Amino acid sequence: MSLQIKPILVALRRHKAGTLLIAVQIALTLAIVCNALFIIHQRLATLSERSGVDEANVFVIANQWAVDWTTQQIDAQVRADMLALRQLPGVRNAAPSTGYPLQGGGWDNFITMTPDQIKPTTDSAVYMGDEHLLDTLGLRLVAGRNFHSDEVLVMGTQQALVPPQVIVSKALAHRLFPDGSALGKSFYAMAASPSTIIGIVDPLHRQGASPWDKLHAGQSLIWPARPDDARGVFYIVRAKPGQLAAAMREAPKALYAQSRLRIIDPKDGIQDYAQIRHRVFDSDRGMAILMGIISAVLLAITAAGIVGLTSFWVGQRRKQIGIRRALGATRGDILGYFLTENLLIGIGGVLAGVVLAFGINLWMVSQFETARLSLAYVASGVVLLLLLGQGAVLAPAVRASHVSPVEATRSV
């Protein structure tokens, strides 16, 4: 086959426009598909991030107050609500909180190691809840202990309380104390007084999935406080295994039986983790699907283009093929000729495509803060397109190999 390369190149020189068009198309397709696959991979990686929550059994009630209450009144109501929820047959545990993992955004604080440090060490998502929150979310405590009930403070609307104890995620503990000595150490979270780490959980996702959250992935802390906010409180509820649907039906009834003076949005006031995950990752999933469709269609169009042009070439060269066959070339030789020709064009195309793919990626890094394209994607893209080219050229090439030697004698 190697002997054939020179005549192929000579022949291609007579079809400059067509050759160039196929090569350009392969190059563009490779560049776009590589980057698209890379983006798909990144988005899917985001989609599968672990929250640390027992997602199969946990749901969240966004509970708002219909009247203007004092912090004391709210605290009494929250305690009563919690008792009512925990007594439900389908409910394992319940806790009030300022937010929940994958909420879609929420409270975060800068962390400093000293009170007068100006440039923060890092950033952490902030949750507040009582001693039931860990079990309710289903978090895994990997070191230290949970809060005691007498450590839980009462936190009114926009009150700037700083509890002296804190439970942190392993990611935050490791970021602050890389030597693994976090337990018992203190830090400052935008406050004048320190918080001491009494427990470490792993993992605990932040509320959001924005680029800022990805920059501080998994860094979260929990303060022991009942958030008696006049604007409303999130009630996290963990159902007993298999009783999620029943618990989700019973919970609002139990709450309204406690008091009618609350507002739970009938549309999205109660959500389980399937809905929460769906909501927060919707744009990522949409983007991944769109990229996937575009890539598939691009590959199909490129393949169709190769089929079209090669068919034309075969049609144009029927006479030459006939002459070669008459002079003793086998069907395999003819088939090999077209496959090799396509391979040569393909290699030219992918070489240009690789350069283009990295060029596009560099531009995207500067424009959209995406990561650097990894070589594996480009390599698999190259293989994919070369195989696609060979597959597309197969049908016309087989047709060419069936041209009978008699063609050589027709016309002229």
Give the residues lining the site for other proteins (CB under 8 A). Answer: 17-18, 21-22, 24-25, 28-29, 31-32, 36, 39, 64-68, 118-119, 157-158, 160, 230-231, 263, 265-266, 279, 282-283, 286-287, 290-291, 294, 297-298, 301-302, 304-305, 308-309, 311-312, 315-316, 364, 367-369, 411-412
What whole-number distance in Å separates Cα of residue 341 and Cα of residue 381?
20
**Residue 20 Cβ, how far from other proteins at the closest point, in Å?**
9
Residues 405, 406, 411, CA angle at the centre, nearest 5°?
A: 125
Specify the residue, 244 or 356, whose C-beta has the smaller distance to other proteins: 356
Structure-block tokens of residue 149: 């009930």
Specify the residue, 364 or 394, whose C-beta has the smaller distance to other proteins: 364
Q: Helix H segments across 228-374?
A: 244-258, 273-280, 282-316, 318-326, 331-368
What whole-number distance in Å separates Cα of residue 224 and Cα of residue 63?
20
**Residue 196 Cβ, how far from other proteins at the closest point, in Å?**
23
**Residue 337 Cβ, how far from other proteins at the closest point, in Å?**
19
**Residue 278 Cβ, how far from other proteins at the closest point, in Å?**
9
What whole-number distance in Å separates Cα of residue 73 and Cα of residue 178?
43
Specify the residue, 110 or 177, whose C-beta has the smaller distance to other proteins: 110
Beta-strand relationship, 220-227 and 153-155: parallel
Beta bridge partners of 237: 59, 94
**Residue 131 Cβ, how far from other proteins at the closest point, in Å?**
27
Query: What are the residues whose beta carbons fall under 8 Å from the beta carbon of 130, sequence distance 6 or more?
Result: 82, 95, 96, 147, 149, 152, 224, 225, 226
**Residue 19 Cβ, how far from other proteins at the closest point, in Å?**
10
Specify the residue, 63 or 97, whose C-beta has the smaller distance to other proteins: 63
Specify the residue, 3 or 118, whose C-beta has the smaller distance to other proteins: 118
**Residue 242 Cβ, how far from other proteins at the closest point, in Å?**
29
Query: What are the residues whose beta carbons fall under 8 Å from the beta carbon of 260, sequence distance 6 or more?
Result: 66
Specify the residue, 169 or 195, whose C-beta has the smaller distance to other proteins: 195
The number of helix segments (H) and strand segments (E) in the chain equals 12, 13
Specify the residue, 66 or 387, whose C-beta has the smaller distance to other proteins: 66
The CA dihedral of 40, 107, 212, 187, to the nearest 10 degrees, is -130
Specify the residue, 153 or 246, whose C-beta has the smaller distance to other proteins: 153
Is residue 195 within 8 A of residue 186, CB to CB? The reply is yes
**Residue 316 Cβ, how far from other proteins at the closest point, in Å?**
7
Beta bridge partners of 60: 236, 271
Specify the residue, 65 or 337, whose C-beta has the smaller distance to other proteins: 65
Place of tokens 């060269």: 317
User: Is the link from the previous residue into 211 a cis peptide, with omega within 30 of 0?
Assistant: no
What whole-number distance in Å separates Cα of residue 396 and Cα of residue 232?
69
**Residue 44 Cβ, how far from other proteins at the closest point, in Å?**
15
